[in-house]
């Protein structure tokens, strides 16, 4: 089996996005594609470390420094450790960016769905599409309440700047209940002719989106879902740590 390569990335900033979510901004020149994720090594007193995957919410096309956004979960050791302990000036060991969730091009309209922290890879795709293409982008974003909307101010700014191309629809469970397939059909119908649809969020939300797109007869090949599965083993146990290569040198 080929050896994995890991890198130490210095943390430039930690941004409190909501009471339960933090963006970890790295001071690094990282080569990645919109919608990809990083695997982070998180220290553990019991096992030495654990490995967890977090999506890059930054875009490589708009001058962002690379960042992952982490939302704490009630029983999630890694997410809570990151939100409670990571500070600027620290270093975090990561594997190379991975994943294929993202458009191959930006020549067509996009329909995006996000539930909760599922906005992280979707945000990367959204910002890239607005920068790289000239077509329309529609986002349906579901959250528990107004306080849990990650990137709320950033989305408002993007909508103000790209109002002729960007449509953002917020769904708040405290006001409207859980989003049903029927309700999502009505929200998606004006944008169902978009070439590709990208979805990330909790499993029940993605199931409702899938049902809605099926009812709208959106072909399966145009539906893209980002699903994370638990790692079977800690990949850092066989990873070789190397300095991050310089893009200019390579």
Structural domains of the chain, with CATH: 4-99 (2.40.30.10), 110-226 (3.40.50.80)
Predicted local distance difference test score (pLDDT) of residue 237: 78
Q: First vs last Cα of the chain: how many Å apart? A: 25
Tell me the average pLDDT across 30-39. Answer: 95
How would you class 61 by CB atoms within 10 Å of its CB: exposed for 0-12, middle for 13-18, buried for 19 or more? middle
Predicted local distance difference test score (pLDDT) of residue 60: 95
Q: How far apart are CA 57 and CA 40, in angstroms?
A: 15
DSSP letters of 197-218? EEEES-HHHHHHHHHHHHHTT-
Half-sphere exposure (Cβ direction) of 10: Cα atoms closer than 13 Å: 6
pLDDT band at 230 (very low <50, low <70, confident <90, very high): low
Backbone angles phi, psi at 153, to 5 degrees: -70, -35
Predicted local distance difference test score (pLDDT) of residue 3: 66
Q: What is the pTM of this model?
A: 0.92
CB 11 within 8 A of CB 85: no
User: Rounded to an integer, what is the distance from CA 72 to the centroid of its chain?
Assistant: 14
Tell me the average pLDDT across 204-224. Answer: 96
- Residue % of the chain over a pLDDT of 90: 81
Tell me the average pLDDT across 23-36. Answer: 96
């Amino acid at each position: 089996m080929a050896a994995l390569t890991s890198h130490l990335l210095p943390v430039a900033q930690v941004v409190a996005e909501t009471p339960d979510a933090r963006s970890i901004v790295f001071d690094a020149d990282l080569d990645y594609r919109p919608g990809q994720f990083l695997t982070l090594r998180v220290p553990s007193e019991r096992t030495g470390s654990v490995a967890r995957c977090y999506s890059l919410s930054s875009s490589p096309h708009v001058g962002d420094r690379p960042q992952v956004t982490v939302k704490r979960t009630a029983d999630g050791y890694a997410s809570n450790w990151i939100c409670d302990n990571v500070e600027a000036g620290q270093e975090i060991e990561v594997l190379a960016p991975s994943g294929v969730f993202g458009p191959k091009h930006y020549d067509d309209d996009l329909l995006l769905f996000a539930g909760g922290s599922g906005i992280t890879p979707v945000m990367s795709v959204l910002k890239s599409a607005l920068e790289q293409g000239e077509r329309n982008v529609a986002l349906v974003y579901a959250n528990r309440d107004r306080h849990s909307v990650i990137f709320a101010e950033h989305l408002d700014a993007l909508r103000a700047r790209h109002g002729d191309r960007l449509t953002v629809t917020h769904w708040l469970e405290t006001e409207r209940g859980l989003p049903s397939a029927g309700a999502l059909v009505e929200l998606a119908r004006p944008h169902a002719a978009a070439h590709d649809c990208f979805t990330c969020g909790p499993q029940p939300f993605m199931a409702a989106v899938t049902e809605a797109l099926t009812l709208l007869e959106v072909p399966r090949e145009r539906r893209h879902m980002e699903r994370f599965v638990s790692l079977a083993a800690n990949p850092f146990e066989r990873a070789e740590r190397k300095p991050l290569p310089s893009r200019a040198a390579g």
